[in-house]
Amino acid sequence: MNSRTEDLLNREQQDAITETGNVVLIACPGSGKTRTLTHKVAAELEKLTSPRRYVVAITYTHRAAEEIEERITELGVDTEQLWIGTIHSFCLEWIIRPYGIYHPKLQNGFQIINSHESEQIITPLCSGSSPRISFFDCGFHFTTSSRVLQVQDTRKHRAVNAVLDQYFAKLESGRMLDFEHILLYALDLVKSRPAISKLLAKVFAFIAVDEYQDTREIQYEIIASILRAGGGRVRTLIVGDPNQAIFSSLGGYAVDPRDYSVQTGMTIRKMELSKNYRSSARIIEYFSNFKVTGSPIIPASPHVSYLSEVTFNEELQRSSLENEIVRLIRHNVDDLGIDPSEICVLAPWWAHLGSLTRSLVTALPEFEFDGPGMMPFARDHDNFWYKLARIGLTEASPRMFVSRLRWAREILSELNAASISTEDLDPRSLLRLSNGIHPSALDGLDYLREYFDQFFERLRIDFSTVSTLVGQHEAFFRESQTRIDRLLREDTPFATDIEVFRKVFRPRSGITVSTIHGVKGAEFDTVIAFALMDGMVPHFSDADQLDGAKRLLYVVGSRARKNLHLIAERGRNRGGSFGEYDTSIPLRNLSYRYDVY
């Protein structure tokens, strides 16, 4: 580690990076987790002595993968021998595609379907069921030994299981894989063919896992099979924060380092990052009330002495919610001097946010907004055409170069997986080809159609002969048109304009609107959170109600650097005779001297 690197890191971070063994790193909010992970991966890349070995970094989101790779590049480290992405992408690229011929359900080919396509298959199967169920009751995940239903109402289990049995049969007959089956079949392959893990252990020198508290049992086992097969030749860093384990309803949990040592057959050392460089002392004091586990958090931020506003309003009527959020935004910008791009509006569910975002756009025309209600096309990260759209909607610039180069590598990988030869192309030449395409359409979807057609014309490839690309092409435009039609019905201005499409992949510039789950890993000067109700925080189907609520409130509070405004509005009806939602229990029970709102 050179002196420049040491200047950027504290002692805890340096110790985690220089540790030569295996580590589970527990990192409190704002502790430089991503910086530490970035430097560790960069250091491991520089240790490689063979061009045939790789460093792997498994992230929870595509956005995190792009951020980490960009940071590594900024350190001046070559990323040619880095593979980084989500666990689903990892399983597809390294297990399913190269070794699927050894699985009886994959050997004749397959296609990946997204959640929208799953919904289209499942919804008709729910018709006429007793008791009545919907697609949203049919969530499930696999463990290493069973199928787990996510709906908590046991009266529905028989009907849900019957629907899922039919759904699985349709997937098998259509040679389709949804996201859950990607993991299941990857596990099947590494269990039935131990040689796969042994081969991967020869390729990988180091495996990093980010946000380990949201990792599922089946995912831990897939990674553990490779670590075991390596017999100590493959090392690992697993980093995260058990207090932010907010995906327990989906099977995510923070593994105990001692248990994972047994599972992998490796010695794993537990280490911690305990200094928060993000938030003021008051913000840290506040969100620490919702800790479920762990050691104290040490304030170390430049904003440590900032006189933070922390407000809580549980008297506001739902009918006045929009006006109150408008007031809070203007108060933070005009009175507290907060930049609009450093404000985030949060809610538990996407359903709370779409119409609100559009209302805020109308009420605050002087500000820009980045939110789900403004997204003009289908955001399916596993759809080939979405991946290609990222390149087509962005311009060549130093700021975007690393991201676009990564996207180009993904496009080449997808084309190779579809048996399309790309031996004359590398990522840079693909970008040069794309940069020479200039569609004339001003309508966003028409622009993308022109761009896609011209892209393949220049490759001299007829994509209409490739069934997987055709299916994904139809899904991309069908789902995008559905989204745009809804935006137009709700009077969203310029929803089809090409400039609105281009804005999707530009760096964040406006007020962010997001769910609590969607904002993990981000930070803002001011956070405004509403709908903090029992049954929403956490979701009423979550089996771990009290601790689940605490973890969500911990995530909400720890996103803020300076100011935090919490709202549990009155007038949200549960439906039927159940009455209104009440304040989330940990928030209701907390005795705290809030600022006057």
Write the pLDDT tens digit of every residue in 9-22. 999 999 999 999 99
pLDDT of res. 504: 81
**pLDDT confidence tier of residue 369, bands split at 50, 70 and 90:** confident
Percent helix, strand and coil across the chain, each rounded to 5? 50, 15, 35
The answer to whether the CB of 557 falls within 8 A of the CB of 283 is yes
Q: Report whether pLDDT(29) > 80.
A: yes
Cα–Cα dist 366/359, whole Å: 13
Between 121-125, 426-430, 539-543, the lowest mean confidence (pLDDT) is in 539-543
For every residue of 270-281, DSSP letters joined together read: EEEE-EE-SS-H
pLDDT of res. 316: 97
pLDDT tens-place string over residues 39-84: 999 999 999 999 999 999 999 988 889 889 989 999 999 999 999 9
pLDDT of res. 4: 42
Q: Token pair for residue 192?
A: 């039935």
Cα of 363 vs its chain's centroid, Å: 30
Of 26 and 136, more confident: 26
Q: What's the rounded mean pLDDT across residues 426-455? A: 95
Cα–Cα dist 549/584, whole Å: 7
Q: Token pair for residue 115?
A: 């959640």
Q: Report whether pLDDT(373) > 80.
A: no
In the chain, domain spans: 3-96+184-273, 111-174, 281-372+509-589, 384-503
The answer to whether the CB of 229 falls within 8 A of the CB of 221 is no
Question: CATH assignment of 3-96+184-273?
Answer: 3.40.50.300
Q: Report whether pLDDT(6) > 70.
A: no
Which CATH fold topology does 281-372+509-589 show? Rossmann fold (3.40.50)
Q: Report whether pLDDT(165) > 60.
A: yes
Q: What's the rounded mean pLDDT across residues 266-285? A: 97
Q: Report whether pLDDT(237) > 70.
A: yes
pLDDT tens-place string over residues 245-255: 998 878 889 99
Indicate the pairing of strand 204-209 with strand 54-58: parallel
pLDDT of res. 27: 96
Q: Report whether pLDDT(368) > 50.
A: yes
Q: Report whether pLDDT(212) > 80.
A: yes
pLDDT of res. 490: 65
pTM of the model: 0.88
**pLDDT confidence tier of residue 493, bands split at 50, 70 and 90:** low
**pLDDT confidence tier of residue 3, bands split at 50, 70 and 90:** very low
pLDDT of res. 494: 67
Q: Average pLDDT over the chain, rounded to whole?
A: 91
Residue 332 DSSP label: I
CA-nearest of 401, 374, 359 to 502 is: 374
**pLDDT confidence tier of residue 350, bands split at 50, 70 and 90:** confident
Q: Report whether pLDDT(359) > 90.
A: no
